[in-house]
Amino acid sequence: MSVYAIRHGETEWSLSGQHTGTTDIPLTDNGRALAEKLRPVLGKPDFKLVLVSPMRRARDTCEIAGLAGRAEVDPDLMEWNYGAYEGITSAEIHKTRPGWQVFRDGGGPGGESPDAVAARADRVIARARAVKGDVALFAHGHILRVVAARWIGLPAQAGENFLLGTGTLCILGDYRGTPAIDVWNGPLA
């Protein structure tokens, strides 16, 4: 069994570095092109389960990649709730909160804690591991970084070590029965 973790394509806010948790914004033209590059790769596995965040950017990526007809919306794949830090960049946050880091400190006031995000990631992982066959997850950068950390038994805070570009493919699997990361930030060309 392999879990294909796919980050949505580029958006205007991913380009500008603005934290995009609950704001539902569309893909850019380049984001749509990135999603199209996923189609031939994701057309090969026989996915037994396809889960997608309810956010438009993830659902559109799933649709363009050819798996929307089989997808089930899973709210646990929502991006981190950044609270008061929604829509602003890390540089702007650091002006009033130097050294802030989402994986350690959580979202801003009214936002989600790392433990809350880890609990959501653990539920997604449990669903994936219950399936006999390949699984596809369409979601967002920070939640997928936590999913990767939790997949290999690390705390949510370890997500800071897994950089993840837009429109990229990652594969979570195992090495002789031990959870492992087979592909991370996989190029599609």
pTM here? 0.96
Whole-number pLDDT of residue 187: 67
Going by pLDDT thresholds of 50, 70 and 90, the confidence category of residue 97 is very high
3-state DSSP assignment of residue 27: strand
**Helices 114-129 and 141-151, axial angle in degrees (round to 10):** 70
pLDDT in tens, 18-28: 999 999 999 99
Q: Answer for the pair 51, 42: CB distance below 8 angstroms, yes or no.
A: no
Whole-number pLDDT of residue 75: 98
Given a cut of 60, is residue 175 above it in pLDDT?
A: yes
Given a cut of 90, is residue 188 above it in pLDDT?
A: no
Residues in CB range of 84: below 8 A, 6 or more apart: 107, 108, 109, 110, 111
Going by pLDDT thresholds of 50, 70 and 90, the confidence category of residue 189 is low
Q: Answer for the pair 178, 8: CB distance below 8 angstroms, yes or no.
A: no
Mean per-residue pLDDT, 74-79: 98
Q: Cα–Cα distances in Å, from 153 out to 53, 138, 158?
A: 23, 21, 10
Going by pLDDT thresholds of 50, 70 and 90, the confidence category of residue 79 is very high
What span, in angstroms and rounded, lies between the C-alpha atoms of 37 and 31? 10
Q: Which one of the listed residues 10, 19, 79, 142 is annotated catalytic?
A: 79
Residue 103: what residue type? F
Mean per-residue pLDDT, 136-140: 98
Mean per-residue pLDDT, 165-169: 92
3-state DSSP assignment of residue 46: coil
What span, in angstroms and rounded, lies between the C-alpha atoms of 120 and 112? 11
Residues pairing with 139 in the sheet: 7
What span, in angstroms and rounded, lies between the C-alpha atoms of 167 and 169? 7
pLDDT in tens, 1-11: 999 999 999 99
Whole-number pLDDT of residue 181: 98
Known active-site residue 8: yes
How buried is residue 4: exposed, middle or buried, by Cβ count under 10 Å (0-12/13-18/19+)?
buried
Known active-site residue 72: no
Q: Which one of the listed residues 8, 19, 140, 142 is annotated catalytic?
A: 8
